A and B are shown apart, each in its own frame.
Chain A
Amino acid sequence: MLGITSDAGVIFEEEFRRQLRRTGWRIFTLLVPVLLLIAAVVAPIVADRFSGEGGGQALIGYVDNSGITDSLGVIPGATRFADLGSGTRALAGDSVKSLFVIPADYIATGSVDWYRKGSGLATGDETGDAFFNLLRAGVADESLTPEQVLRIVAPAEYTLFSVDDEGRPESGGTVQDEIARAAPAFLFAILLLMSIFVGAVSLLQSVAEEKENRMVEMLITSTTPMSIMLGKVLALGASGLLQISIWVAAAAIAVPRISDQFSGLSALSIEASLLVFLIAFYLAGYFVFAALMASIGAATTSVREASQISAVITIPAIIPIYLSALIISNPDGTFARILTFFPLTAPTASMMRLAGGTDATYEIWIGLLITAGTGVFLMWLSARVFRAGLLMYGQRMGLRSVWNALRQAD
């Protein structure tokens, strides 16, 4: 059928073997487990360090010329200095990490001087956050109880409820839960794209190499173009799937170990349905990209030229990653829905919509069907371009040649 013969199996075996022996594939496959392993080893150390810092050690120092903190007494992790000189000496002696000087007119101006040892970007510095909390506690009314002051410092942990069209609230969860649910899907969208690209770009290289090496006539007189294409596509797809499996297995082992150390990550979970969609979109998306990449490889003159032209295909695929915030925050918006029905963006856009908790799962299925159908159709087309283009040694196929190849009868 469609010119597929048992030789596709031989080509599959050969290409799979060749792909697994490529240094690039091996490095890329092992990179994720190695990074996770490092994270698993480093996480407990980092967590210990954080817990040590929370254990009452002096983190910040301050000089209060406004008297706003006079009512607070001794604050764990904060040391009050009488003047700037004693404060900066303590800073120089490393007994505090930052020194804040509250001027007498603080209430009117809101400005505070921040002294740090050395230089560097202060944004996100935990000592800044600690002083911010200190100030919030300081401005609280003296009549408040310590519990009330604590609540001002850490005002709320949200529980989210979605309300449907009838006004009925649906199951709720904390923000951390939402992040934990969205994170794997987002992560998988990126892994999916990376893996599809590795497979498809390998295919492009394989086809372009055979053209460059003048090997193709020997192949094409041994079996059908469709068998060659199918064998190559399946082999490189299988190598991509193996790559994802290794990553998922490594994540399954390492992530619990890492997330145990951080309360915000402890709710990280991977739903079975997400895995099913991941694999289905991998296969469908891979066929689309692989067929296009193989056509480019056959129609161009060298690996280098083929790689340059392939950017036309890879850029649309990256769009959903760039717009991830928009898609996850509004998974059923018009933009997210359009991207779901376009084969080049459907795999990543769909994973993002699942991450955002879309209500229209049927649209994800439609997107999957469109992508899979397009993949099969493009495979058939690319076998024709492949056959015609591979013989044009040292020549690029113009659009007219591509069109003629597509019209050529079997």
Chain B
Amino acid sequence: MAYALEIDGLTKRFGNKTVVDAISFTVDEGEVFGFLGPNGSGKTTTIRVVLDILKPDAGEIRLLGGLTARQAMPRVGYLPEERGLLRKEKVSNILRYLGRLRGLSKSEALDRGLELLHRVGLYEHRDKKVEGLSRGMTQLVQFVVTLIHRPDLIILDEPFAGLDPINVQLMKEMLAIEQARGATVIFSTHVLSDVEEMCERVALIADGQMILFGDLAEIKRSRGANSVVVEAPSHPSGLPGARRHAGRGGKVEYRLSDGLSPEMILSAYSSAGIVLSRFEQELPSLNDIFIEEVSNARNHI
């Protein structure tokens, strides 16, 4: 299997502080991969090292089937977390300039740039200066620049931060098109609903250390059910250790912990003579896993 990205034992230190500590993971070609972690966990530093913006203190990085960052760069599209464009320049000039730096001719850069501007609904603003655009619009122009050369690997650092829901949806749809074209998408975020919606696999880091890595569905399954949802006309009281996690109408969710098992809940309803309309074991949400794992890691440290 060829990897779009292979990180092996990556360590990055700033002075005495280890910001990324010997992390390893791989990203398959053609997948959408979520790179998760709380604020300050080392996500952006990892991405900068991957892209050769920063030099690693240890470890190896290979992109697009074994290339170095410098070799792979013409085939990589990157949307940094720190965003901005030359404020005094026209949008079309910026597209032409940055498109050319990504290996396109002047006309190709402009043609593709304008086509993408059309898709994000900014075609009418092509002759405006950047300073005349809103923050969200500027972000979309940068997104266009990221995709302008049809990269094989797209790396997005907090891509949806600061965008309204409509533009977030627009970007997600465009990324789905890029994936269908064969591109690999890696994005960092701490908005977990985006990850659950878009990603097949994830890596989670906290304080520079790898906590979780793998297939999202498998990670959830491996944790087992952590709650039971019951729908019934009424509910028995006094289940030992049970916490009514959420309830609306006839639905109650029981957190499984401290000796409370699905069998015990079922038995309690049966003993009380309550007929169930739904009894379902639920896998943990990514949000639950995230909070639990990051808390454990920090307590451990």
Contacts and interface: CB of A to CB of B under 8 A. Distances in A.
A256 B200 CA distance: 78
Contacts of A218: 78, 80, 98, 142, 145
Interface string A196-239: 00000000000001101111011111111000000000000000
Contacts of B54: 391
Contact of B55 (A213, A214, A408): A408
Given A222-B102, A391-B48, A214 B97 contact: no
A134 B25 CA distance: 99
B100 interface: yes
Given A213-B86, A214-B84, A391-B48, A222 B98 contact: yes
Interface in B164-189: none
B179 to A, nearest CB: 21
B86 A10 contact: no
A260 interface: no
Nearest to A209: B86
A387 B54 CA distance: 9
Size category of the B interface is 20 to 34
B239 interface: no
B82 A222 contact: no
Interface string B247-267: 000000000000000000000
A393 interface: yes
**Of listed A209, A220, A221, residue having the most chain B CB within 10 A:** A221
A178 interface: no
A10 B82 contact: no
Interface in A1-29: 7, 10-11, 14, 18
B86 A217 contact: no
Interface string B65-82: 000001001001010101
Interface residues of A, number: 24
B119 interface: no
B53 interface: yes
Contact of B86 (A11, A215, A393): A215
B55 A409 contact: yes
A220 B55 CA distance: 13
B83 A10 contact: no
A224 B93 CA distance: 21
Interface of B: 48, 51-55, 70, 73, 76, 78, 80, 82-87, 89, 97-98, 100-102, 142, 145
Given A214-B80, A393-B82, 6 more contacts: A7-B101, A18-B89, A215-B84, A217-B48, A220-B53, A221-B51
